[in-house]
């Protein structure tokens, strides 16, 4: 952990529970410490603390802060909900793990804090959307089937094979 990330982590531990939303974030992040947590807030997926600092650098996002006038502001960055998959795909290509936290109840129906939960955990081997990881040049998969090419018996007569399996 770098010196900057250590400072952010200590500030995050102290400041996470200042508001109910940040307490909810801290609880969910504690369950997924090895992943970037994309936390849905309205029309954006937000990242906080160390996730924000690292993602801003990796994805070229603007690093800002929550509670700017507080002595220990909370670093944050975010992406619009409709661009989430593109940013997640970039992180997956970089070999990173991502946990996606969505609002699981309608904000208009919520009494108090909107309930949120992690709905997806994606790793570099994950298939997202209708195409596999970056580099696939084929057409979208019909009916959710995933073609898997491989080379059979390296060292012997080379054979190329392909199998298909349900992707869901």
Is 62 contained in some domain?
yes
Number of domains in the chain: 2
Task: Give yes or no for a contact between 36 and 51, defined as CB atoms under 8 angstroms apart.
Answer: yes
Mean pLDDT within 8-25: 67
Q: What is the C-alpha separation between 121 and 132, in angstroms, rounded?
A: 16
- What pLDDT is stored for residue 76 in this prediction? 94
100 and 72 together in one domain = yes
Task: Give yes or no for a contact between 77 and 47, defined as CB atoms under 8 angstroms apart.
Answer: yes
Is 99 contained in some domain?
yes
- Which of the residue ranges 69-78, 103-112, 145-154 would you say has the lowest mean pLDDT? 145-154
25 and 83 together in one domain = yes
Question: Which pLDDT band holds residue 7 (cuts at 50, 70, 90)?
Answer: very low
Q: What is the C-alpha separation between 101 and 40, in angstroms, rounded?
A: 6
80 and 151 together in one domain = no
Q: Tell me which DSSP letter residue 107 carries.
A: G
**C-alpha atoms less than 13 angstroms from C-alpha of 135 in its C-beta half-sphere:** 5
Is 133 contained in some domain?
no
- What pLDDT is stored for residue 3 in this prediction? 40
CA 100 to chain centre: 5
103 and 143 together in one domain = no
For residue 45, give the nearest of 73, 74, 87, 13 by alpha carbon: 87
How confident is the model over 56-103, as pLDDT tens digits? 999 999 999 887 777 888 999 999 999 999 999 999 999 999 999 998
Q: What is the extent of the structural domain holding 36?
A: 3-122
Q: What is the C-alpha separation between 43 and 138, in angstroms, rounded?
A: 32
Is 40 contained in some domain?
yes
- What pLDDT is stored for residue 159 in this prediction? 57
Question: Which pLDDT band holds residue 153 (cuts at 50, 70, 90)?
Answer: low
Is 131 contained in some domain?
no
9 and 70 together in one domain = yes
User: What's the CATH code of the domain at 40?
Assistant: 3.40.1170.10
CA 79 to chain centre: 11
48 and 95 together in one domain = yes
pTM of this structure:
0.68
């Amino acid at each position: 952990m770098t010196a900057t990330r250590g400072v952010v982590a200590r500030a995050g531990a102290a400041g996470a529970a200042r508001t109910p939303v940040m307490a909810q974030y801290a609880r969910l992040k504690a369950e997924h410490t090895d992943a970037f947590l994309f936390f849905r807030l309205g029309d954006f997926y937000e990242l906080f603390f160390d996730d924000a600092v690292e993602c801003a650098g990796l994805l070229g996002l603007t690093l800002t802060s929550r509670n700017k006038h507080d002595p220990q502001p909370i670093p944050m960055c975010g992406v619009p909900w409709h661009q989430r998959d593109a940013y997640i795909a970039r992180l997956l290509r970089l070999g990173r793990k991502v946990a996606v936290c969505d609002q699981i109840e309608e904000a208009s129906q919520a009494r108090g804090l909107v309930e949120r939960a992690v709905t997806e955990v994606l790793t570099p081997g994950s298939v997202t959307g209708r195409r596999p990881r970056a580099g696939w040049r084929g057409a979208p998969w019909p009916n959710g089937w995933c073609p898997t090419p491989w080379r059979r018996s390296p060292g012997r007569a080379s054979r190329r094979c392909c199998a298909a399996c349900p992707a869901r």
